Amino acid sequence: MHRKAAAILQIFREQDGFVSGEHLSRELGVSRTAIWKHISAIRGAGYHIEALPSKGYRLLSSPDTLSAEEIKGKLNNGIIGTDLVHFTVTASTNVEASRLAANGAVEGTVITAEEQSRGKGRLGRTWSSPPGANLYCSIILRPRIKPFEAPQLTFLSAVATARAIALSSGLKPEIKWPNDVLITGKKVAGLLNEMSAETDRINFVILGIGVNLNMTAEQFPDDLRHPATSLFIETGVKVSRAYFTALLLNELDRLYSGFLDSGFTGVRQEWMEHCNARGREVVVSNNGTADIRGLFAGIDNDGALLLQQHNGVIERILSGDVRVL
C-alpha cells in the first residue's frame, strides 16, 4: 500500500469518527484530489469507507488480511515485528524469509502471506495453505547462541503458538514432540524452523509458523497422515487473522526477550507443561527401526527427547513419532 494511503488509515484509526478531506490534505501535504485517489485505492484493498460531503470520510470496516497496516498497530514494539513484509501469494514465507535474511533483513522481520502455493512442512511434506483462511508467517531471528542450541527456538515458537491459541479461543492446546500443536489430539499448527550457520555461529534462524485458523473441514487435503483441525472447526467461531497474528507475535516477543535474558529454562518448563506426553509412558517409532518404549522424561538442550527406560537408563531420541500409551 502507498505510504500516504497507510498514513490516511492511521489517521482514521486514531480519530475514530469522520475526518474531513481538508484535514487529511493538510496533514499529508497533498491536494484534495490526491486524497480522493488514495481513498479509492484504500477501498480497492477491501476497506469499507463512508464518504459524506458535509463530514468527510469514516472507516467502517477493515478487511481481515495479514497486511502490515492491519498488524503493525497491534504490536508491542519489541524485537518481533520491527519490519513487516506481506505477500498476497508466495511459494513459501520461509523461502522469502531466507532470501530476505541472506540480503541483510533485520532481526525481528516478519513475513506473512494470504496464501502459499508451495507451503513447506517438516520432513519434505507440503503444508496446505489456502488463501485467506489461516496464518502463514516466518520470522527472522539472529540470536547469539550456538548452532546446536537453535532447536530451542522451535520449542519457544511452539509455546508462543500454544499461548496465542489459548488466549484467543479459550481452548487448551497440547504440544506433541517435537513441535506439533494439537487440540484434542488433532494438529492445529505446525512449525518449520530453518537455519543458516557457520561451525560456531548462527547467521540467522527462520521461525516458520502455520496455524489453521478459519479453515473448514472440506478445505483439508484427503491424504493427511494425521488428523488435523482448525480453531474454527473446534469453536464454530471465525477468528480475526490479524488479531491472532498480532497476539502470537506479541507472545513470541515476550518469550524471545526472556530467552535472550535468561536462557532456555523458562521455555523448557512451559513447553513441558503443554506437552501431551509429560511424565507418561510412550512408544517412539522411527521409520523401520524397532519401537522404543519408556517414560517421557523431558527434552535436552538440543531438542532431543529424553526417554527413561525401565532399567533407568535415559535414551536420547532425535527423531520419530511419539505415541502416548
Q: Which residues bind ligand BTN (CB under 6 A)?
A: 92-94, 116, 119-122, 125, 127, 136-138, 180, 190-192, 208-210
Shortest distance, position 72 Cβ to ligand BTN, whole Å: 20
90 vs 250, which CB is nearer to ligand BTN?
Answer: 90
What are the beta bridge partners of residue 183? 186
HSE-CB for 297 with a 13 A CA cutoff: 16
* Partner residues linked to 176 by β-bridges: 180
C-alpha distance across the termini of the chain, in Å: 52
Tell me which residue of 322, 325, 295 sits closest to 182, measured CA to CA.
322
Closer residue to ligand BTN in complex, CB, 92/230: 92
Name the residue nearer to ligand BTN (CB basis): 136 or 177. Answer: 136
| Minimum separation from the CB atom of position 221 to ligand BTN (A) | 13
**Min CB(59)–ligand BTN separation in Å:** 29
Residue closer to ligand BTN (CB basis): 121 or 258: 121
Helix (H, G, I), strand (E, B) or coil at 135: strand
CB of 114 to ligand BTN, least distance (A): 12
DSSP three-state, residue 29:
coil
Closest CB to ligand BTN: residue number:
190
The CB-of-313 to ligand BTN minimum distance in angstroms stands at 30
User: What is the crossing angle of helices 21-28 and 3-15, to 10°?
Assistant: 130
Cα–Cα distance, 64 to 70 (Å, whole number) = 8
Cross-strand pairs, 292: 284
Least distance in angstroms from the C-beta of 191 to ligand BTN: 6
Length of the chain in residues, anyone?
325
- The three grid cell numbers given for residue 251, joined into one nine-digit string: 507472545
Pick 8 or 277: Cβ nearer ligand BTN = 277
Q: CB-wise, 152 or 212, nearer to ligand BTN?
A: 212
